[in-house]
Structure 1
Amino acid sequence: MSTEPPRVPQSPRYRQGTVILQTVDHGEVTVPEPTWCTGHDDELVGHLADLTHNGVHVRAGAATYAHGYVEILDAYISHAPYGELHPEAHPLLSLHLDLDLDATPEDSRKVAQALRVASLRIDRVADEVERLRNGGALG
């Protein structure tokens, strides 16, 4: 017997400050929907514990001669308030950094500039997460 949820698309219904979602373990649930959440329209029905609110993705990368465009950073506000083992009381910064290439000096400088941009973007999103954690409105 499989514990995997069915591969059924979510049909969220948005109301002022809330969203109604289908779950495999709690049926239909109404949960607070933060204003910064990008929505749940492209998600599949799953367990309540897997429900995560995600904000807009902030990215940074470099246009290199040898490798074309390389993405370095993907960051966004994330909040999983119903996690089974570790429910998150407050939003977090979901941060993904990735770069693995052999670069010419010119491309290395482009990557270094992209890392400076990525650093500024991380700081901005971290500031917003801190604001939310310190009493800023979640919804």
Structure 2
Amino acid sequence: MSTEPRTAVVNVLVTTQLEIDEPTWCTGHRDDRAQFRTDITHNGPEIAAAVDTRRGPTEFLTAWISQTPYGPNGDPLPVLAIEAGGDTLNLDPDEVRAFTNLVRAHCDVIDQLAGELERVRESEGR
């Protein structure tokens, strides 16, 4: 058995402040704490559609400009973040246009369903 002092390497999370450039469109950060530089995200103002229902207004399709300048994807350019179906999509301009075209087409189908709903309700005398 050795009488020499033993050593061990222990990983420690060191907390320090990091000064970063912030784009003019950034409205702040959802969380001012980032464990790693790659966690830093800039967010612009959120824009949401809202529909008034009997239960009150419901927001949907929330969108905002977002940038993760040190992110792991290697693309420091801003994207449009869109919350849809419980997920957040991060889309470039071409993907945004494809998304909005799809939503427009889907809205046309929903309009057609409204007409079908009217016919169903009329046939039931309501």
Question: How high is the TM-score relative to the length of structure 1?
Answer: 0.46
Number of residue pairs matched by the alignment: 78
Bigger-Rg structure (1/2): 2
Secondary structure class of the residue paired with 2:19: strand
Q: How does 1:50-129 map to 2 (within 5 A)?
A: 50-65=39-54, 67-83=55-71, 85-98=72-85
Shift of 1:73: 1.6
Gaps of 5+ in 2: 1-10, 87-102, 108-126
- Bigger RCO of structures 1 and 2 (CA < 8 A, at least 6 apart): 1
* Separation of aligned partners in 2, 1:40 and 1:74: 16
1:64-123 alpha-carbon deviations (Å, 9 max, x no partner): 12x32111121100000111x213321000001249xxxxxxxxxxxxxxx87xx9xxxx
Residue identity opposite 1:30 in structure 2: E
Shift of 1:30: 2.2
Secondary structure class of the residue paired with 2:17: strand
Runs of 4+ in 1 over 4 A off after TM superposition: none
Shift of 1:41: 7.8
Please give the root-mean-square deviation of Cα atoms over the aligned residues, in Å. 3.0
Gaps of 5+ in 1: 6-22, 100-114, 120-139
Question: How high is the TM-score relative to the length of structure 2?
Answer: 0.50
**Kept after mapping to 2: 8 A contact 1:77/1:93:** yes
Q: Identity over aligned residues, as a percent? A: 36
**Kept after mapping to 1: 8 A contact 2:34/2:40:** no
Are the structure 2 counterparts of residues 38 and 58 from structure 1 closer, same or farther at C-alpha, using a change threshold of 3 Å?
same
Residue 13 (structure 1) aligns with = none
Residue identity opposite 1:43 in structure 2: D
* Separation of aligned partners in 2, 1:94 and 1:41: 14
